[in-house]
Chains A and B, each alone.
Chain A
Amino acid sequence: MTQAPLRDPALTLVARATPPAPKPSAERKEPIIELSHAGVTFETRKGEALTALEDLNLTIYREEIVSLVGPSGCGKSTALRILAGLQPLSSGDFWIGGGKTRQGFSEVAIVFQRPTLLPWRNVLDNVLYPARVLRGRATKEDKARALELLELVGLAEMAKRMPHELSGGMQQRASIARSLILDPKILLMDEPFGALDALTREDLQLDLLEIHARTKKTILLVTHSISEAVLLSDRVAVMSARPGRLQDLIEVDIPKPRGPESGALPAFHEYSRRIRDDIFGPRKRREVQA
């Protein structure tokens, strides 16, 4: 009892001594997404059970970018759909942001492989769509923010154009702007650059790094591309197929800010090789045995 009052002032002193803004290590370790023993089983038309995802444990911390990579059918998109609230769990549990119920794009926003813009609305209205759904209408502030975001993704001139007048890359930029309209904490991206040509893809990857540096969103990214995963992520979760489960979790320690030159670093190739080995390793062993 006599020691307690002594300890408290000491603690406050320490707290005061620490500058409040830059404490990256503490903030980075604050979990924001958690999947524990998550499993998804589908029933096929014939009535057979198909396990898409088995016993997935993954914690994602605030402000980090995590990539899910793996072969087709490893359940990486399923994992993302669980977190988006589009896929119910068969077993296990998860929480995202504050819990399981979400307030539209203001908590968790999603970017799909295809831009998925509504063809009957112009670019600005498409960006405003999540605000309209959530609040019934878009306020002046929403519109100002939408224009700001279009500026951020380099589409300021295109606000009044219809989606079909835009190139594929521009459409995907618009869909990224749309995902940010309600300032979500978390961005779920399902192979967002998978449908783009190689050059546009590279361009958008760098844009995403810049957007992340500015907005500090937590990003969960599903991708087929190993180099994309290494370039963008703080951690890469490698998954194996049938049944889908987590195989390896790699901390990518490449200095930031990253850019095209990061690809030339020896560490970059080291990480890429490790992921490639994770994915293709077992298959090679099987071939040797046969």
Chain B
Amino acid sequence: MSPAVRKVVLPVATFVTFIALWQLASVTFEIPVYLMPAPSDIWGGGQGLGLVLFDHALQTLNTIVLGFFCACCVGIPLGVLVSVNRTISEMFYPLIVFFNAIPIIAIAPILVVIFGTDETTRLIIVTLTCFFPIMVATASGMMDTPSEMLDLARVAGASTMVEILTVRLPHAVSFIFSGLRIGVTVAVIGAVVAEFVNANKGLGYLVTSSTAQFAIPTATACVVMLALISVLLYQAVNWIHRGFFAWSIKTDAGD
């Protein structure tokens, strides 16, 4: 088997076996659906929803992507500021760490009271959940710039701004993408939390509402959908990295 084939076949085989065993266990031990739905029940739950499932999924995807985008717009510049200016770093870093330490699930209901029950609040919640890894990754990347590169920029007469744009930020790109990969999966969690506390649409809302009616297969189908969205977005970030910033991916092709 070629390495490329192995990469696909092995995980798929494991996955299929896992599903089969699960199904088998559910049938043989007659596990009640409300305790642990079998894969077939979950499939049935999803089918029962039909296109409605995708409608809700789109709503959630929208919240995730917009919120994640806001987090990038906040996190990357903040990471740059914190890493470049020592005073700003000393002034704001502890505060930012403190805000990040607040459990987002705990303040989500409060945020709903403050900002109202609409999309804005959901976006704020998603942004708050995922800006931190993006900011920290950006700052680490900026500070990781080799001193010789900074010396080069300085002798060439670069201002701080030019230095950031031509040396520090490009060097930080691979770091930033590590932050984005973490950030995008956290954004999914943020969106679900936002929909738990404030929504009449979306997968998070569907999970709470169907659980309340003991429609466990439906709820589980939503969870599976969320996982699929998470994987898809993670891969999308990877594709953007490879497609537009291929130079920043380190290869082991010698010196």
Residues of A in contact with B (beta carbons under 8 Å apart):
84-86, 102-105, 108-110, 112, 114, 116, 118-120, 129-130, 132-134, 162, 164, 167-168
A133 touches B156 (CB 8 A): yes
Measured CB to CB, the nearest residue on chain B to A84 is B155
**Interface pair A134/B156, CB less than 8 Å apart:** yes
Q: Select from chain B the residue with minimum beta-carbon distance to A110.
A: B155
A142 to chain B, nearest CB (A): 13
Nearest to A129 among chain B residues (CB) is B156
Task: Answer yes or no: B36 CB below 8 A from chain A CBs.
Answer: no
Cβ A133 vs Cβ B158 within 8 A = yes
Residues of B within 8 Å of A84, CB to CB, are 151, 155
Encoded as 1 (CB less than 8 Å from any A CB) or 0, chain B from 152 to 171 comes to 11111110001000110010
- Are B248 and A130 touching (Cβ within 8 A)? no
Other-chain residue from B157, B247, B251, B255 in contact with A105 (beta carbon distance below 8 A): B157
Cα separation A110 to B146 with both chains bound (whole Å): 16
Bound Cα distance from A130 to B152, whole angstroms: 9
- The answer, yes or no, to whether B25 is at the interface (CB within 8 Å) is no
CB distance from B153 to the nearest CB of A (A): 7
Instruction: Return the contact of B157 from the options A86, A102, A112, A120 (Cβ within 8 A).
Output: A102
A270 and B255 CA atoms in complex are apart in Å by 38
- The answer to whether B149 touches A162, judged by C-beta atoms less than 8 angstroms apart, is no
Closest to B151 in A: A86
Interface size class of B (residues with CB under 8 A): 20 to 34
Checking B152, B156, B158 against A112 with a beta-carbon cut-off of 8 angstroms, the contacting residue is B152
The reply to whether A109 and B148 form a contact with Cβ atoms under 8 Å apart is no
Report which B residues bind A (CB closer than 8 A). 146, 148-149, 151-158, 162, 166-167, 170, 173, 247-248, 251, 253, 255
> What number of A-B contacts does a CB cutoff of 8 Å give?
58
Q: Tell me whether B253 and A104 are in contact (CB under 8 A).
A: no
CA of A118 to CA of B165, assembled, Å:
12
In the assembly, what is the distance between CA of A133 and CA of B173, in Å? 20
Q: How far is the CA of A142 from the CA of B170 in the complex (A)?
A: 23
Residues of chain B within 8 A of A129, CB atoms compared: 152, 156, 166
State A108–B154 Cα separation when bound (angstroms): 12
Q: Which residues of chain B have C-beta atoms less than 8 A from A105's C-beta?
A: 155-157
Query: Whose C-beta in chain A lies nearest to the C-beta of B163?
Result: A133
Q: B248: which of A85, A120, A132, A133 is its contact (CB, 8 Å)? A: A120
Q: In the bound complex, do residue A110 and residue B157 qualify as a contact, i.e. CB atoms below 8 Å apart?
A: no
Knowing A132-B166, A133-B162, A164-B253, the reply to whether A118 touches B157 (Cβ < 8 A) is no
Q: Decide if B166 touches A133 in the complex (CB within 8 Å).
A: yes
Given contacts A84-B151, A112-B152, A116-B148, contact A162 B157 (CB under 8 A): no
* A85: chain B residues within 8 A (beta carbon): 154-155
B253 pairs with A110, CB closer than 8 A: no
